[in-house]
Structure formats: C-alpha cells, structure tokens
Amino acid sequence: MLKQSLHYKLLQKLSPQQIQLMKLIQLPTQAFEQKLKQELEENPALEGGKENTDDFEDSQNDEYDDSGNENISTDDINIDEYLSDDEIPNYKTQANNYSSDDEDKHIPYASGTSFTQHLKTQINTYRLTEDEETITDFLIGSIDDSGYLRRDLDDVLDDLAFTQNIFTTIEELERLLHLVQQLDPAGVGARSLKECLILQLKRKPEKPSVLLAINILENSFDHFAKKHYKKLLQKFHISEEQLKDAILQIEKLNPKPGGSYLGNNRIAEQIVPDFTIKIVEGELELSLNSRNAPELHVSREYSNLLHGYKDSKEKSKSQKEAVQFIKQKLDSAKWFIDAIKQRQQTLLLNMNAIMQHQKEYFLTGDERKLKPMILKDIADVIDMDVSTVSRVANSKYVSTPYGTKLIKEFFSESMKNDQGEDVSTREIKNILETVISNENKKKPLTDDKLSVLLKEKGYPIARRTVAKYREQLDIPVARLRKKI
C-alpha cells in the first residue's frame, strides 16, 4: 500500500556571495592583492586610488539594487538610484587609521634563470647529436625542483617515442642520464636519495673517509638509514672513529640539490604579515596591514554613461543593453567593496580576540605564558562560526615584537598538570623538545623514558601521547636520533 506524507526539512545553504566572502577572508595579503588586481581588470566599473571628488556618504551605498537578478528590464531601472548628488559614487574601503603615506615595505622577490634553464645552459656546452640533445633536454625537463628524476626510465622511453618520435634504448638513456648527472649542482638527476648522496661523494677528493662513506651507501644503505651502527662496524671491520668520519662526510651533503639553486622555478615565497602587534606604553596595539585596506570607488565614466542615458530623449535598444551591462557591473563593484569592508572587520575582530586571549604572551614573549586556546574559544567571543576563525588562523601571519608568527601557532589544546592546572599542549611540546635536544645522542631517550621524565616535571603524559607530540614536532624515534 502506497502512503503519501509531507516532510519539512530545514536546510541552510550559503549564497554564492557568502562563499566568495569566505574565500576573500581566507586569502593572505599577497593573494588578496592579486585578487584585487584581477577584480579591477575584470570590472571596468571598479577603480582604485583616490577620487578627486568628496567622499560619498555611506548611507548612499544602500541605494543599489543588488538582488542578483540578471534578467533586467531597462524600463524598471531607476537611473537616479545610480546617480548621487555628488555625481560620482565613491566608496572608500580604507579604514580611518590608514593613509596612503603609511610605511609599506616591500620585500623583493628572488629573480634569475630558472633551474631547468640553468641545467640546459650547461648541457649545451657538450657536443651532442640532434637526437642526443632532444633526449637530454627531455631528461632535464623531467627533473623536479628538488633535483631528482622521479620517473622510471621505461616511462621516459615511451614518452620519447610518442611525443618526440625518437626511438632509443634504456642503455642509451642511462648513458645520457649519467651525462646530466655530471652537471651542477652535484647530485642533480639522481633517482633516489642513495644515488644523490653517492653522486655528491664521487665529486669529492678521494680520501679514506669519503671512500668508506661511498662503500657504506652502496653496500649497506639500509643499515646506515636505520642507524644500525654496530652492524656497520662489524660488516666493514672499522673503528668507531672511522665510522664517525664517514658519517660526517655524508651529513655534509645536500639531500635536495635543486633546492639550493637560487634561480629555482618556484619563486621563494615571502611572508607578508597580515597584522602587526606593537607594545605602546605597556599596552598592546593591533593594526591591519594597510595593503589590506585599498581605496576603491565607482568609475566616473560609468556615472557619465548613466547620465547620458537619463538625459537622452530617445532610448535605443543598444542603449538599453548598455544600461543592463552597466547595472550588473555597478552591482558587482558595490558587492566587492562591501565584501572587502566585511573582510577587514572580520580579520580585525578575530585577531583582536586572539590578542586579548594571549595578552600575557604578547606582552612578554614568554611562550610559557601561552594559554590553552582552541578555535571555539575565539568563535564564542566574537560570535562567529568556528570555520571563519579557522580561515583566519590557518592562512594569516602577525608581526610581533618577537618575530613574525603564523596565527595558528597560538592555538593549542589544554592538559592538566600534576597540580590540576590547565596547561597548553604547546608548553608541553616545548619541554619535550628541550629534553630531547639535551639528551645523550649516543643513548637517545625512548618514548617510555620521555614519558617518565615529563611526569617528573609535573606533566603526567602517557607514552602514546609523547609519541604523538614527538611526531607533530617532526622528531624521529630514539633509534634514528642516535649518533656514534
């Protein structure tokens, strides 16, 4: 038997504009500048910089009809709504405490020849046939930014046949790869860490410690990687001093030879702080980077176009189509300007709440003063969603008297010490890091022993928790921290 019933379900969906606003909030300063530049290029109704006319009153901002309806009837458009008494609507997104002459230090980007071009310039000094040049160029193009050839030679062989119409052999590829591996920096073109280290060692002057290091890597790489030093001593019949000298030679090598090249394909990312916190007469002062507060206004030309349409006695079809286009662009410009204002307010609201919560730290720089703080703590204070706080914390930096910090570093969960007091897990991680740095590297502390030591210091933490914090700190297990 079929039965019909009516169910009500309450769904909350974000509008496209709300989603765009969330994306704007997430953007750090440099990415925001790129977005701003893109918007100015794509919307001719939006202009940046100061306008010669007086500022348009904020109350006029609401005169736009931003219903989002794209099917506009020009007969329904009230042109007066788009024309103010001052003739040109001018919306300043710049906050009162910023001015165009604020100090704005730009950090220059690194520039130069790309890593790939650097390698190709070197290979051009060799006498090669046309096919050999094509193959070596193809091999160089397959090298990643770290300097490694991650692709299997069988795949390279197939690609050369399909894309370059060159049919060769694995032996020929090996021969030409060895040629590429002679280029600078040493170790480039390696297919594994083992090969990369050996290539670098073979460039060094031959001496006992270097030859032993090559022998160890070629014949006992796993024992070396796992720091099974006793097995290495037995296998190569050497003293601890000889092994120490060989390991020292390996430790001097660069595991990522491509990363050391300044002209790498990737431009080194420069951190631009989104906020600045200063101590002024014993009080904290927060400011937003002035690059996040641009001056924007509606184009004078667009205003004149509307004037022309209003004053014309006969309104042609092309004129009506133009007015439709102008209205859409004006609505888009208004929304973008409003969104930037909301972005500024949201960023300052979030950062101010974080600053107040961690006030003792920002006044002293003492990391032991960092209080436990989770996203919900800030979200509750500013009455915003946790996801909004997360967008600010994960992508923004703040300049403090103690250096530039990623905001999410100030967040940590709480744990109880032996006094029953709430302490930040960050504080515990700092103590754990200090204990490990001061350990005897010949007999590094296991997670069990670290757990006992932390309990003695007043932090009753289980071994598995110690292991979790150690992994979060990117510290290897005791066996891999061992030194001879």
Low-confidence ranges of the chain (pLDDT < 50): 11-12, 53-77, 79-112, 262-268
pLDDT for the residue 477: 80
pTM of the model: 0.52
Under 8 Å between Cβ of 270 and 255:
no
Round to whole Å and give the CA distance between 266 and 321. Answer: 45
SS (H, E, C) the chain: CCCCCCCCCCCCCCCHHHHHHHHHHHCCHHHHHHHHHHHHHHCCCEEECCCCCCCCCHHHHHHCCCCCCCCCCHHHCCHHHHCCCCCCCCCECCCCCCCCCCCCCCCCCCCCCCHHHHHHHHHCCCCCCHHHHHHHHHHHHCECCCCEECCCHHHHHHHHHHHCCCCCCHHHHHHHHHHHCCCCCCCCCECCHHHHHHHHHCCCCCCHHHHHHHHHHHHHHHHHHCCCHHHHHHHHCCCHHHHHHHHHHHHCCCCCHHHHCCCCCCCCCCCCCCEEEEEECCEEEEEECHHHCCEEEECHHHHHHHHHHHHCCCCCHHHHHHHHHHHHHHHHHHHHHHHHHHHHHHHHHHHHHHHHHCHHHHHHCCHHHCCCECHHHHHHHHCCCHHHHHHHHHHCEEEECCEEEEHHHHCECEEECCCCCEEEHHHHHHHHHHHHHCCCCCCCCCHHHHHHHHHHCCCCCCHHHHHHHHHHCCCCCHHHHCCC
In this predicted structure, what is the pLDDT of residue 321? 74
Task: Tell me what pLDDT residue 25 has.
Answer: 85
The reported pLDDT for the residue numbered 398 is: 92
pLDDT at 75: 44
Per-residue pLDDT at 37: 86
pLDDT of 63: 39
pLDDT value at residue 27: 84
What pLDDT does residue 456 have? 82
Q: Look at residue 313 in the predicted model and tell me its pLDDT.
A: 55
